[in-house]
Amino acid sequence: MIRIAAVGDVHLGEDARGRLRPALEKVGEHADVLLLAGDLTRHGTVEEAHVVADEFADLPVPVIAVLGNHDHHSDCANEVSDVLTGHGVHVLEGTAVKFQLNGCSVGVAGVKGFGGGFAGKCGSMFGEREMKSFIGHSIEVSGMLKDALSSLHTDIKIALTHYSPVPDTLRGEPPEIYPFLGSYLLGEAVDETGTNLAVHGHAHFGTEQGLTPGGVRVRNVAQPIIRSAYKVYCVEPAVVES
Amino acid sequence: MTAEQYLAADLRRAIAEDPRTAELGVRVTVRGNHVLLTGDVTCEERRAALEEVLQDVAPELHVMNDVCVTPAGEPVGEEELR
């Protein structure tokens, strides 16, 4: 069994330095790995990235992150990633990492994701350049997630995004803004790749629990939803008859 | 939309776009001369910054700040996914 700690939308900055650290110091007692589901900063500046890096540095478990829309706000997402990477955080964007934990191989594939909406209520790559660019980005990053998940051949496979792959975990948000909160294309990537769990953030007024159309559990770990420094999920690898 | 709805939309955009707040997770409801803020922010300073921005944008309104600071303690228990 693997214990997965996860949190998103911590929105750190100098004014919130150290807020999570007391609970993080004990993360090793609760979990084997820590996932960060984007919106780690407030304005996406390098200065804020240093606060995030200090907050999550030197923990006894591997830390794996994706960025969120706030982390892109200052147009320096690569620099933000570099700061985090320099402090030992694995930052994923269409990439994957693998670990051996408790005798079990665990793979995490991650991407920021994007909006676009859900089946039957989504945008298409048609019309104005701005619209094609909006939906095109969603198609591109979802394809990256699918490829990264497909590359994993581990006992447990986890998808980590900032935007939601399903509408279930958005309940509580106004339905009119669902197209800005996630995309069914992310859910399709999860469903087509034998993934065990999908973790995301972004929807502060949403709901923690959801399910993809293919029956994969989804958890919205935005901090205003989980109301703690992180939430812990225990996942068993599938039993394969030999 | 009524004038109150336009005002609520303007205020919501202000607290999202003003760098002092940059909060997308705060709801704004206008009722007459009252504006109600709800949602969660990361720390007490940001809760106060919401009122500062609203004071600049709409000084005539009485702000009711029901925004909470998100708890950041250790989790209680864990969820087993079988």
Per-residue pLDDT of A168-187, as tens digits, reads 999 999 999 999 999 999 99
Residue A106: which domain range? 2-235
Which residues of chain A fall short of a pLDDT of 50? none
Q: In this structure, is residue B77 part of a structural domain?
A: no
Please tell me the distance from the alpha carbon of residue A90 to that of residue A111, in angstroms, as a whole number. 12
8 Å CB contact between A152 and A219? no
Site from A42, A71, A207, A212 to mutate, B interface, most B CB atoms within 10 angstroms: A42
- A176 inside 8 A of chain B by CB: no
Instruction: Assign 3-class secondary structure to A1-39.
Output: CEEEEEEECCCECHHHCCCCHHHHCCHHHHCCEEEEECC
The verdict on residue B78 lying in a domain is no
Q: Where are the beta strands (DSSP E) in A130-194?
A: 156-161
Q: Is B27 helix (H, G, I), strand (E, B) or coil?
A: strand
3-state SS class at A199: strand
Q: Is the pLDDT of residue B1 over 70?
A: no
Taking an 8 Å cut-off on Cβ atoms, the answer to whether A26 and B46 are in contact is no
What are A97's two structure tokens?
């990492």
In a domain, A119, yes or no: yes
Whether the pLDDT of residue B51 is over 70: the answer is: yes
- A26 part of a folded domain: yes
**DSSP codes joined into one string, A167-227:** SGGGBTB-GGGGGGTBBHHHHHHHHTTT-SEEEE---TTS-SEEE-TTS-EEEE-BHHHH-
Q: Which of A223, A164, A173, A229 is nearest to A20 (CA)?
A: A229
What count of Cα atoms within 13 Å lies in the side-chain half-sphere of residue A214? 17
Domain count, chain A: 1
pLDDT value at residue A51: 98
**Does a structural domain hold residue B43?**
yes
Tokens of A241: 């008859």
Q: What number is the ipTM of this complex?
A: 0.93
Q: Is residue A240 one of the residues assigned to a domain?
A: no
Q: Please indicate, yes or no, if residue A21 is contained in any of the structural domains.
A: yes
- Which is nearest to B43 in space by CA: A55, A70, A19? A19
Pairing type for strands A231-235 and B26-31 reads unpaired
Q: How many interchain CB pairs under 8 A, A with B?
A: 85
Share of chain B above pLDDT 90, in %: 94
Question: How close, in Å, is residue A172 to chain B by CA atoms?
Answer: 12
**Least CB–CB distance from A10: residue in B22, B42, B79:** B42
Q: Phi and psi at residue A118, in whole multiples of 5°? A: -115, 160
Distance of CA B7 to the CA centre of its chain: 14
Instruction: Provide the pLDDT for residue A102.
Output: 87
- Please judge whether A204 and B71 are an interchain contact, meaning their C-beta atoms are less than 8 angstroms apart: no
Which pLDDT belongs to residue A2? 95
φ, ψ for residue A3, nearest 5 deg: -105, 115
Q: Which domain holds residue B33?
A: 3-69
Average pLDDT of chain B is: 95
Q: CB distance from B5 to chain A under 8 Å?
A: no
Q: In whole angstroms, what is the distance from residue A162 CA to residue A201 CA?
A: 5
Two structure tokens written together for A19: 């807020």
Q: What is the CATH number of the domain that holds A191?
A: 3.60.21.10
Given a contact cutoff of 8 angstroms between Cβ atoms, the answer to whether B46 and A97 are in contact is no
CA A85/CA A64 separation, integer angstroms:
10
Q: What CATH number did the domain enclosing B59 receive? A: 3.30.1340
Contacts of B40 in chain A (CB under 8 A): 204, 223-224
- Cβ separation of A19 and B43 shorter than 8 Å? yes
pLDDT (0 to 100) of residue A239: 65
Residue A87 within any structural domain of the chain: yes
Determine, yes or no, domain membership for A242.
no
Number of domains in chain B: 1
Cα dist. A206→A226, B53, B70 in Å? 10, 26, 15
Q: Nearest C-alpha of chain B: how many angstroms from A8?
A: 12
DSSP A43: S
Widest pairwise Cα distance in chain B: 55
Residue A7 near residue A37, CB atoms below 8 Å:
yes
Instruction: Let me know if residue A43 belongs to a domain.
Output: yes
Q: What integer pLDDT is reported at residue A240 of this predicted model?
A: 58
- Is the Cβ pair B78, A197 closer than 8 Å? no
B75 → closest Cβ in A22, A228, A236: A228
pLDDT band at B82 (very low <50, low <70, confident <90, very high): confident
Q: For residue B40, give the H/E element and its range.
A: strand B34-41
pTM here? 0.96
Residues facing A178 on adjacent strands: none
Chain-chain contact of A26 with B74 (C-beta, under 8 angstroms):
yes
The shortest C-alpha distance from B25 to chain A (Å) reads: 6
Residue A201 lies in a domain: yes
Residue B3: what pLDDT? Answer: 86
